[in-house]
Chain A
Amino acid sequence: MFRLTIDAGLSVPVYKQTAQAIKVEILSGRLKDGDKLPPIRELAKVIKLHPNTVAKVYSTLEEEGFVESKIGSGNWVKYKNKKLDQLRKVLVEEEFRNFIDRVLAVGASKKDIKELMEKYLNGEKND
């Protein structure tokens, strides 16, 4: 299964955070097209959410086109490349923005950021 971290301190509603996290899983490829998502009851028990909340998560995902709900058998991942690429772009930018904000809040300068960026990205390449 996958790990979902929900920040209870955020005022973003829990169901949105959860849906977002699942979207991240799908976008990252960890959840593939055709994978079966856990039943509502099981997911609720694992991440300690009200089953209604989980149901809302799945219906939100279905509305946004990530998930297909088949009556009697559960929820399945639906993977549409194009859309995802667009979404991926938006998500990446969002995560990046959050990251920059956080580093700036610690007191890093733009120069520090660039240097560190180089270091860590190159480091990854070298692996």
Chain B
Amino acid sequence: MIDVKDLSVRFGGKTVLDAINVQFEKGEFVTIAGNNGAGKTTFLRTLMGIVTPVKGEVTYDTGISKGKIGFMSDRSGFFENFTLKQGIDFHSRVYRLDQFDDTLLRHLGLDLKTKVKHLSVGERVLFLFSLVISQKPGILFIDEILHTIDPYLREVFLEHLLEVIDRFNTTVITVNHTFSEIETIPGRILVMEDGRIILDESAEVIKTKIKKIESTGEIPGDIPVLYKKEVLEYNEYYVYPFSEELRKSFDYQFRDLTLSEIIKSFIGGYYVKKRISRGS
């Protein structure tokens, strides 16, 4: 559905996306994770067309009109001086919407005459969300908004998102830092590092490929370690790639990990690499 070929983005002299190749299918729910500065947000914005690549291209299947693609970001602004009503009218005009469903806004108790600049962060996110879902989107790009809103609104948001996904079979691609609420939702995980995709795996499979060992001493070198963490008197070793043979060959307890922990270990591994390359 979305085909990314050899995508490169440079800001000035800095390469932010480095020859990325990936495909996304209809109906997928993909989460992109990685350290700060890995290029996740830029990737999303390039997919949307806000950032233009210096090489490569993003191709959407024919039949997908740009009006059916929604984009939300924690840094997304909206015309600050518009009232909500003006914003709704604007959005409706651009996307040729027949009607606008304001249940979400009413649920928040928002007065349509309020100006955008007077909304709180959470209200703004949900306002943008209500605009985006009014497009009946076939594709949604969501960039790191969960951590900006309070837990109650987070749940409201997720419930509406799931409803939208069910109604329109929306393909969702998110960038996320916090995982707890949506641990169980993504079907596919992408981890980015330095503008490249270093992990691309379904959520089910990745859980079988990475396990944790807790040990007070060193562990044999044959066990592939992604990342080691010192916790109190013992060490945590994140083993990747894990296979069932390791469980048979070694007498350690290989513990399962949540997605959050998995991603954290990948990012941890990145920082270790950076430290090593800096010689510290």
5 A-B pairs within 8 Å (CB atoms) are namely: A8-B184, A11-B207, A45-B158, A49-B185, A53-B184
B256 near A50 with CB under 8 A, answer: no
B184 near A48 with CB under 8 A, answer: yes
A51: contacting residue among B158, B166, B207, CB under 8 A: B166
Instruction: List the interface of chain A (C-beta within 8 A of B).
Output: 6, 8-11, 13-14, 40-41, 44-45, 47-53
Chain B contact residue count (CB 8 A cutoff): 27
A48 near B182 with CB under 8 A, answer: yes
- Residues of A close to B183: CB separation below 8 A: 8
A45 near B27 with CB under 8 A, answer: no
Q: Contacts A10-B256, A11-B208 hold; do A51 and B184 have CB atoms under 8 A apart?
A: no
CB distance from A43 to the nearest CB of B (A): 10
Tell me if B259 is interfacial: C-beta within 8 Å of chain A: yes
CB distance from B239 to the nearest CB of A (A): 13
- Residues of A close to B211: CB separation below 8 A: 11
Proximity string of chain B (195-213) to chain A, C-beta cutoff 8 Å, 1 when within and 0 when not: 0000000011001100100
B184 near A41 with CB under 8 A, answer: no
B259 near A45 with CB under 8 A, answer: no
Tell me if B101 is interfacial: C-beta within 8 Å of chain A: no
Q: How far is the CA of A48 from the CA of B162 in the complex (A)?
A: 8
Tell me if B43 is interfacial: C-beta within 8 Å of chain A: no
Q: How far is the CA of A6 from the CA of B259 in the complex (A)?
A: 13
B165 near A8 with CB under 8 A, answer: no
Tell me if B181 is interfacial: C-beta within 8 Å of chain A: yes
Tell me which residues from 226 to 280 in chain B have a Cβ below 8 Å from any Cβ of chain A: 255-259, 261
CB distance from B44 to the nearest CB of A (A): 19
- Residues of B close to A47: CB separation below 8 A: 184
Q: How far is the CA of A50 from the CA of B165 in the complex (A)?
A: 8
B166 near A49 with CB under 8 A, answer: no
- Residues of B close to A14: CB separation below 8 A: 184, 203-204
Closest residue of B by beta carbon distance from A18? B184
Q: How far is the CA of A45 from the CA of B181 in the complex (A)?
A: 12
Q: Contacts A8-B258, A9-B258, A11-B256 hold; do A44 and B184 have CB atoms under 8 A apart?
A: no
- Residues of B close to A50: CB separation below 8 A: 29, 162, 165, 184-187
